[in-house]
Amino acid sequence: MSGKGGLPVYRDFVVVSSGYNNTLDDAHALVKPASAIFLLALDKPPSASWQLGSNYYRLKVPLVQPDSDDAGVAAQALAPPALVAGNDGALAYAYAGDLQGNLWRIDFTGGSPWSDGGARKLIFVARDAKGVRQPITQQVKVAYGPGAGYLLLFGTGKLVEVADTWPAALSPQSLYAVHDDLSEQAPTRSRASLQQRSLGVATDAYAVTGAELRYADAATDDAGARHGWYLDFNGTAQTGERSVHSPVLAAGLVFFNTVLPGRDACARPATRLYVLDVLSGFAADSVGLIQAGAITGRLLDGLARAPPLVLEIKSSVGAAAATGRAEGRKQFAVVQPGVPGAAVKVASAPLPAKRLSWREVANWRELHEAAKK
């Protein structure tokens, strides 16, 4: 926020979304219902009343694209926002998805008060292969993108109402990694802008591990997809597989689970646990190397109640090379809450350690003497 003399004034806020189905006809309903992100000031005295534009702010976000025909009937919901800090530690951006598959960015770098329209930008719309919108009900996870900007990782799917498990609701769902380069000239992205990743069934899975597994497709030259990548879940018409818990990021990998309620109401639900490379979307082998045929998507018995827990259990650094760089490795135990006994050891991809780079300073003596003056 701007203070006297143009100097910034920092305040602490609680940042929350407006939640689900906020279209009730009550005294607090908006004239034209819309989702919103609220900033609630923590320095408000307990006896003071809430004042819009003073101790709280409301940033409205439309639920569908402006040119959509179903703008008046779309379900109202906005998932919890993901917050990104700037170089000064203050809030710079917030990202949030909604039930219509829209992924929004709210820009806080311009200071307050923030306008209802000027600070928001539609980054991406999640649709399946037939163009049907896919709901986003989880908090987006943010990683640094290739080159500049951020890579936004999230899955699609909804498990809120009883009707979400009915056969008619078992629709295709996906996992996305969308690159936001922070360019205001960039168009709204769709899956056509992303690189597709596919899954196949590991035919020898039962003989090797006793549990059904799947593997990601072979790594190719397009591993560093410019705008991101996506992965469609297999067999959703029968399994109802969907992603309702936020991913977890660690050591360049994304860990996420899916829930499979199944078409048969009497069948026991299941969970899948995936481990993929953040930037490429490919799977890694047992030592963390990205390569063809690597196993991922382990099937677990029981319904996941929360995101996976990723616990570092071992780290090591190898011998330094001639340039001073060495290879570091971290090993993790992945525990899935709500699924008894489901622990998987995963070795991360190699990480650079010790000296990362170097350059020759030819005039170092001149610089050294100048620093003494």
Beta strands in 73-201 (DSSP E): 77-78, 82-85, 91-97, 102-107, 120-125, 141-144, 150-155, 174-180, 195-197, 199-201
Average pLDDT for runs of 10 along the chain of length 373: 63 87 53 75 92 87 57 67 90 91 89 64 93 94 90 94 87 95 81 88 52 70 73 90 94 91 83 90 78 82 89 82 75 85 72 69 81 78
In angstroms, the first-to-last Cα distance of the chain is: 40
What is the model's pLDDT at position 66? 46
Report pLDDT for 210: 44
Which residues have a Cβ under 8 Å from the Cβ of 302 and sit 6 or more positions away?
Answer: 268, 269, 270, 271, 338, 339, 340, 342
pLDDT at 204 (0 to 100): 53
- CA dihedral (104, 230, 304, 339) in degrees, to 10, reads -150
Residues 6+ apart with CB under 8 A from 356: 325
Predicted local confidence at residue 93, as pLDDT: 92
- Identify which of 320, 321, 342, 317 has the alpha carbon closest to the alpha carbon of residue 331: 317
CA distance 210 to 365: 65
Helices (H), the chain: 205-209, 236-239, 364-372
The predicted pLDDT at position 116 comes to: 55
Strands 228-232 and 195-197: parallel
Which of these, 31, 28, 27, lies nearest to 19 by C-alpha position? Answer: 28
**pLDDT at residue 320, as a whole number:** 77
Q: What kind and span of H or E run contains 348?
A: none
Helix (H) or strand (E) holding 232: strand 228-232
Element (H, E) at 254: strand 253-260
